[in-house]
Amino acid sequence: MIRAEQKLSMIARHAPMGLAEIDGEGEIIEMNLKGESLLKPVIIAHDLNGNNFHEILDHIAPGVTEKIKSAGEEAGHILANEPYSFYLNFGGEQIERHFNFTIIKLSVDCIIICFHDLTQKRHKENAIHDLINERSIIQGKFEIACNILHDIGNAIVGFGAYVNRIRRSLDQVNPANLQKLTEFMAAQQAELNSLIGDAKGDALVKMLAGINDAQKVLLDEIRKSVTEQHNIITHVQDILTIQRQYVAGNETQEQKPVNLRSIITDCMSMVYASIEKRAIIVSVNIPDVMPVIKGDRTRLMQVILNIMKNSIEAIDITASEKTIAMNLSIQKDMLVFQVKDNGHGFDEATGKQLFERGFTTKASGSGLGLHSCRSIIESHDGTIAITSEGFGKGALTTITFKI
Ligand X SMILES: Nc1ncnc2c1ncn2[C@@H]1O[C@H](COP(=O)(O)OP(=O)(O)O)[C@@H](O)[C@H]1O
Footprint of ligand X (CB under 6 A): 306, 310-311, 314, 341, 343-346, 354, 359-362, 365-367, 369-371, 386, 395
Beta bridge partners of 258: 293
Q: Which residues of 377-386 are buried (b: 16+ CB within 10 A; e: fewer)?
A: beebebebeb
381 contact partners, CB below 8 Å, separation of at least 6: 401, 402
Which amino acid is present at 332? Answer: K
| Residue closest to ligand X when measured from CB atoms | 369
CB of 353 to ligand X, least distance (A): 8
304 burial type by CB count under 10 A (0-12 exposed, 13-18 middle, 19+ buried): buried
358 contact partners, CB below 8 Å, separation of at least 6: 366, 367, 368, 371
If residue 313 lies in a helix (H) or strand (E), which one and from where to where? Answer: helix 297-314
**Residue 346 binding: pick among Mg ion, ligand X, none (C-beta 5-8 Å cut-off by kind):** ligand X
Helices (H), 173-259: 175-187, 189-196, 198-248
Which amino acid is present at 313? Answer: E
CB of 229 to ligand X, least distance (A): 26
If residue 145 lies in a helix (H) or strand (E), which one and from where to where? Answer: helix 119-172
CB of 269 to ligand X, least distance (A): 20
Q: What x/- string results for residues 343 through 382 when contact with Mg ion is judged by CB under 5 A?
A: --------------------------x-------------
Asked if residue 310 binds Mg ion (CB under 5 A), the reply is yes
**Residue 387 binding: pick among Mg ion, ligand X, none (C-beta 5-8 Å cut-off by kind):** none
CB of 182 to Mg ion, least distance (A): 50
CA atoms within 13 A on the CB side of 200: 7
198 with 190: CB under 8 angstroms? Answer: no
CB of 310 to ligand X, least distance (A): 3
Nearer to ligand X, 24 or 351 (CB): 351
**Residue 314 binding: pick among Mg ion, ligand X, none (C-beta 5-8 Å cut-off by kind):** ligand X
CB of 388 to ligand X, least distance (A): 6
Beta bridge partners of 397: 339, 386
Nearer to ligand X, 111 or 395 (CB): 395
Q: In this chain, which stretch among 195-203, 250-258, 290-298, 308-316 interacts with Mg ion, using CB under 5 A?
A: 308-316
**Residue 367 binding: pick among Mg ion, ligand X, none (C-beta 5-8 Å cut-off by kind):** ligand X
**Residue 358 binding: pick among ligand X, Mg ion, none (C-beta 5-8 Å cut-off by kind):** none
The contact set with Mg ion (CB under 5 A) reads: 310, 369
